[in-house]
Structure 1
């Protein structure tokens, strides 16, 4: 299979498309946590409880109210290999925790993969909507519609005072987590990132790495999300996050302008060297790949690099991950083999852009 054919089949819509402010905001995501009344939380449930939850969700997903929102498919973790489950993690469609739930876990995917529903993760249901660019309102609107459709078929665990009940107390209330994935190389290179992130945390937001809580931040990518789920409406949560994100966008753009004005030659050299390494390296690890991709995307956004798709950072930050490389290669690869395969994939991907420009 050619790389272009593989990418057409493997890439989610959020990976391929652009959106508002997407020179800095790569994705917007809304996740809604829900639990079914009468069942223990997943950490305490028995095998029979887990099966009953999956069957109840399967019936709800098959209802006409859900059919009006798109084409959905339920997939049980036990029917997938460990490699396939990890591919879904790398595509940001499920969490690493769900990927470990081989016996009790399941997922519901919409055909465009903008929507995924995790079953029997930390909560019985985690409805996730992920959109390209700054589209928090769109993500919430879709998540809310799916939540309403499911609630018309299922009885949620709900308290008149506390709201929706969740396994973790920090999610009680609305059960909503809204987040954006931001590319902030200007703030990192200018030395302002720690000050900005401290300010963000002081207004009730959390900053995490690329795969959420507990993950590292590679390639100057930061996930900014709400921490408070109780005492505010869903609209207030998304609006507050959006307001802070716009401030970060302004600071990042100012930082990029300052870097370009202060030492354009040094910046051009940095991004050009990174492009050269990606274009010609014969082996490269994940961390360096993300660092070099960040430089190249910055160069594209500032007009230093021409003829390369701006979406290459989103695309390659997923397709160069370990499980994806092994899926594309159709075999298990050692760490060293992955480094070689990763470099080859990047070289080939850059050639595809070059061929399009020449054509």
Structure 2
């Protein structure tokens, strides 16, 4: 997924559409044994292999019995599979994945299929269009569990109906620093939306990264869900922009000090844990967006947020590391990437 492109991408990190689908007359994954699981995987594999749809046939199939724990952890950190799916090792669990990571279909997670499309910036409609094409291609070869009154049947009752979850990942430091977060999030809950942390349900908000999604799918059409989420997201974006401008006008020195300290720590620390790093990277990203820090691409922070996670750090080092050594490696990676980016920008300016 290209982190550098997308509408409102200074605030909206990404948009995601996920469709939950199950095969007719087969138990949900939580209740299936290995025999049923293998049967489901075989049906899905054949549908993928035989599909004449160019988009679906372009995906790569990963079976988790042949995927290392490190690689599964990296998929979790990239938001391509759920943390629960990342611990699975059975041959009947897996993933269909596009080369750029924009399309990911979890196989035998909570549902038999979870079709996910994720794009940078605010692009819910485009995500849905792609997800629908994949859904249509699969439905030509698979019989999905569907009830005329209730809609698509899913493992979790809150997904019954369209089976769709729409979400956006937002970076909201202005709302947090101004002390408006609790009030605004309470209003969002009242509008039927869920507010969660970086990795969705059950995760806390760290580094001012917030996932906003619809809570129910029954009784609403796909277009209604997307329209409602898009409207609320645009209101959040506008509120964030107003508060950032206000902070810059009313707390200029405090804001510049906060950003400068964050950058100083990140480029000099020898040891740093994940939560502290995310918090400081949020401040630096804000400084870049507001022009306080120049010479670094703001979207580099999006890449760093992922690169400093445990799976990525261990993959980079080529060895399993305990928590403290990961903190040491994290500090090294952040310093290296930030300073290299700064030096590259300076060199480019000299050449011009």
Q: Do the aligned residues in 2 keep the contact of 1:33 with 1:171 (CA within 8 Å)? A: yes
Contact 1:123 1:167 in 2 (8 A): yes
Which of 94, 103, 118 is equivalent to 2:106?
118
Check the 8 A contact 2:29/2:108 in 1, yes or no.
yes
In structure 2, the residue matched to 1:28 is: 15
Deviation at 1:354, TM superposition (A): 1.8
Aligned-residue offset at 1:352: 2.2
Listed as ranges, the gaps of 5+ residues in structure 1 are: 1-12
Distance 1:41 1:68 in 2: 26
Matches within 5 A, 1:196-345: 196-345=184-333
Quote the residue 1:89 is aligned against: 76
Match of 1:9 in 2: none
- Give the corresponding residue for 2:178: 190
* Alpha-carbon contact 2:12-2:121 (below 8 Å) kept: yes
Q: Cα deviation per residue 1:38-84 (whole Å; 9 max; x = unaligned)?
A: 10001111101111111111111123433345621111111112121
> 1:162-177, aligned counterparts within 5 Å?
162-177=150-165
CA distance in 1, matches of 2:49, 2:288: 44
Residue 128 of structure 2 is aligned to residue 140 of structure 1? yes
Say whether residues 1:151 and 2:146 are aligned partners: no
Paired with 1:70 and 1:185, the residues of 2 have a C-alpha distance of 41
Normalising by structure 2, we get a TM-score of: 0.96
Q: Deviations over 1:68-126 (max 9, x none)?
A: 45621111111112121111000100001111221141111011110000011010000
Question: Which stretch of the first structure deviates more once superposed, 293-302 or 100-109?
Answer: 100-109
Q: Distance in 2 between matches of 1:133 and 1:356?
A: 25
Q: Which runs of 5+ in 2 are unaligned?
A: 348-352
**Bigger CA drift: 348-357 or 119-128?**
348-357
Q: Is the Cα–Cα contact under 8 Å of residues 47 and 141 in structure 2 kept in the other structure? A: yes
2-structure distance, mates of 1:309, 1:78: 38
| 1:108 and 2:96 correspond | yes
* Other structure's SS at 2:119 match: strand
CA contact (8 A) 1:18 1:311 kept: no
Q: What's 2:43 paired with?
A: 56
